[in-house]
Amino acid sequence: MEEKLTLQDLSKSGKTYWRFSQSEKGRSQESCFAEYWPGHITVAEIGEKLSFVSEDTIALCFMYGDKLTKLNFDISNEEFQTISDCEVEYIGLVFGEYRSEKLLTEEEYSLEDLDTIKLMFSMVKGDWQISRIFNYKNCNGDGFVEFLKKFRFDESASMVSCLKKEFEKNIYISKEEIMNLIEEYINQNE
């Protein structure tokens, strides 16, 4: 019989866990909605599960919400201890997705904030992820820039548009080069 994976098991991995969440319903390419508040446990609706990923793939998941949500997996945290034995289902696939009935939010970051875009790109693992971020299109043909514009995150959309132009000039652009461009953009627009 296969041993069940729990939130506590994941807390021992040394990784951080994240998800994109919505500030209000309708800000994701998927129809499900749950509210996440720092310091609070979110419980899935009956028959549903809450998905999340590690820092290794979170940058690829921007289409699932307008807030980057860091989950709390600190075993010394009293709130986390109350859900630590909650079972986790590993889905895998391209995102390395996990699902659980309960999650504890540590912090939320809005994609409206340039520092959140910087944080997202800081977690990119490999140049292929940069390519995927800039080449992604949903069923309406919208990419990351259009996604940001839709929510009127104009400053973030402008910065990501500049990054995308640099990517289009050099599809082998590195994470370090992207991070330098982000720093330059933020410094020039303060």
Task: Judge if 27 and 96 occupy the same domain.
Answer: yes
Cβ atoms 90, 80 nearer than 8 A? no
Tell me which residue of 180, 136, 137 sits closest to 162, measured CA to CA. 180
Which of 64, 88, 110 is the endpoint of a domain? 110
Across the range 28-53, mean pLDDT stands at 88
Across 71-75, 80-84, 97-101, 139-143, least confident range: 139-143
Structural domain boundaries enclosing 44: 5-110
Task: Judge if 133 and 103 occupy the same domain.
Answer: no
The β-bridge partners of 89 are 99
pLDDT of residue 102: 97
Across the range 146-161, mean pLDDT stands at 96
Q: Examine the pLDDT at 29 and tell me if it is beyond 80.
A: no
Across 2-6, 109-113, 118-122, least confident range: 2-6
Which of 83, 110, 137 is the endpoint of a domain? 110
Across the range 41-57, mean pLDDT stands at 93
25: part of which helix (H) or strand (E)?
Answer: none
pLDDT of residue 97: 93
pTM for the whole structure: 0.92
Task: Judge if 94 and 61 occupy the same domain.
Answer: yes
pLDDT of residue 3: 64
Which of 64, 89, 110 is the endpoint of a domain? 110
Helical residues (DSSP H) of 61-126, grouped into ranges:
78-83, 114-122
Cβ atoms 74, 80 nearer than 8 A? yes
Which tokens sit at 10?
Answer: 């994941």
Cβ atoms 112, 155 nearer than 8 A? yes
pLDDT of residue 112: 97
Q: Examine the pLDDT at 2 and tell me if it is beyond 60.
A: no
Q: Examine the pLDDT at 175 and tell me if it is beyond 50.
A: yes
Residue 92's pLDDT band, with cuts at 50, 70 and 90, is: confident
Pairing of strands 41-43, 87-92: unpaired
Give the count of domains, the chain.
2
Across the range 120-136, mean pLDDT stands at 94
2: part of which helix (H) or strand (E)?
Answer: none
Residue 1's pLDDT band, with cuts at 50, 70 and 90, is: very low
Across the range 161-168, mean pLDDT stands at 97
Across 24-33, 46-55, 87-96, 101-110, least confident range: 24-33
